[in-house]
Structure 1
Amino acid sequence: MARPSEAQLRRALVAVCQRLHARDLIGAGEGNVSCRLARGRLLVTPSGVEKASLRPADLLVVTEAGEKVRGRGRPTSELPMHLAVYAARPEVEAVVHAHPLTAVALTVAGAPPPDDLLPEAAVVLGKIALAPFATPGTAEVPASLAPFLGRHDVLLLERHGALALGRTLGEACDRLETLERVARVAFLARQLGRCEPLPPAAVEKVLAAAHEAGLTGRQGRAPRR
């Protein structure tokens, strides 16, 4: 399948930013999104801009080394985090970072990542990594993520937010949205008195069924194509 054009990717990336804002996954200037372009370049959101009002022309093009090629302003301050993902995972085409309220609250409370509560968690999210707290906008962030990037498509950043990887912008955004929905279930279950995970055997059956249907890899990660 041919790679979408830059114009198409600009529109898709802006649509993801609007979706994140509409779902209350980001607010104000929070969050950052990127995707691969051709010839070793990336399309990224600008720094400090309210994402719901972004236009396609507001996005910046950078190299995989982080050098700005074109666009006004500065790339997101979390660009090193995005660069680390693309360097570690050549098959990843899009990265979405947001601040989902319930999922972040779980990290503040010290609750475990909600990756074994519901079938959709196992299938869509896979095993969720929990990266230790790192100062946002610094080299601490990619360093904290480095041990997990090779094995996880969804990562919680302690007291900071969440990171979702995907083969498309839509897939990465789907994972972020699913993470927050599952986190809400975990929160509500705890409020009601119990939050029991699916037994490991049940998780294996869910993954096996999804794998047979072509929906996921055996470890809960989307199959490579």
Structure 2
Amino acid sequence: MNETKNRLIKAGRYMLSNRLAWGTSGNISARLDKDRMLITASGTFMGELAEDDFVEFDIVAGTAKGTRKASKETPMHTGIYKTREDAGAILHSSPFYTTLFSCSNEPIYSEMFIETMYYLENIAYVDYCHPGTKELGEAIAEQTSYANVIMMRNHGVVVFDDNVDEAMMRLETLEMACRMILQAKASGVQLVRIPDQVVRSFLEESKYKPRKAMKGRLPE
């Protein structure tokens, strides 16, 4: 468990120092085993996490160990872990450019460069729900069959993957893509998107990374 805590502490510091999170606006977790996760406690600062800032939480029973209160976004995390057995780590935050896109109808393109083709292949969206509610947790869980990146309208984003490092790559790639798209529009730069057939070839034949197996594909 100490190793998992150390990874999450390092992740929180990285997120804050690289403007992927701010203040107490985010929460992160990692799976300990099939039924348990470690999640940040309520009110913790992402860049100042310590070993006692985490709560061990039973995903199935919905109970916590210890005296600290788990993050109010715990329903979001448990919903993902219950639905996706391959999920090993979850990051929820509100980076500036990503959140800007979550507050707009601007599309986020994946056909730009290697990392966007892989990490942003599927981006799901859920309508605004109040933070920490059962409704938000259920809405997120419903989309986990189709994507590892879920944009929450007027809120931020939640990403998940096999481990903390891969989840961080998804988050950082998303924020970079949003920043590129916005700055290109503002500067009058025309972004050239990679053709669909090349994207398919990359995902299916390049062996960059194993493509995530989804239960279904997002509607066009």
1:17 to 12, 21, 31: 12
- Answer yes or no: is 1:217 the counterpart of 2:206: no
2:106 to 102, 108, 111: 111
Count of matched residue pairs: 212
Q: Is the 8 A contact 1:123 1:216 kept in 2?
A: no
Identity %: 25
Query: RMSD of aligned C-alpha atoms?
Result: 1.9
Q: Which residue of 2 aligns with 1:203?
A: 199
Q: Is the 8 A contact 2:102 2:156 kept in 1?
A: no
Pairing 1:125-140 to 2, within 5 Å after superposition: 125-140=120-135
Give the 4+ runs in structure 1 shifted more than 2 A: 113-119, 192-199
Shift of 1:218: 7.0
Q: Is the 8 A contact 1:62 1:69 kept in 2?
A: yes
Q: Which residue of 1 aligns with 2:115?
A: 120
Give the structure-2-normalised TM-score. 0.89
Structure 2: gaps (5+ residues): 215-220
The change in CA–CA distance for 1:107 and 1:197 in structure 2 (over 3 A counts) is farther
The change in CA–CA distance for 1:198 and 1:52 in structure 2 (over 3 A counts) is same
- Answer yes or no: is 1:69 the counterpart of 2:53: no
| Corresponding residue SS for 1:109 | coil
Distance 2:128 2:112 in 1: 24
Shift of 1:152: 0.7
Q: Is the 8 A contact 2:44 2:53 kept in 1?
A: no
Q: Is the 8 A contact 1:102 1:184 kept in 2?
A: yes
Q: Which residue of 2 aligns with 1:223?
A: none
Distance 2:34 2:160 in 1: 20
Q: Is the 8 A contact 1:32 1:45 kept in 2?
A: yes
Shift of 1:157: 1.0
Q: Which residue of 2 aligns with 1:35?
A: 30
Distance 1:165 1:108 in 2: 21
Structure 1: gaps (5+ residues): 1-5, 221-225
Q: Which residue of 1 aligns with 2:48?
A: 53
Q: Which residue of 2 aligns with 1:189?
A: 184
Shift of 1:67: 0.7
For 2:68, give the aligned amino acid.
Answer: G
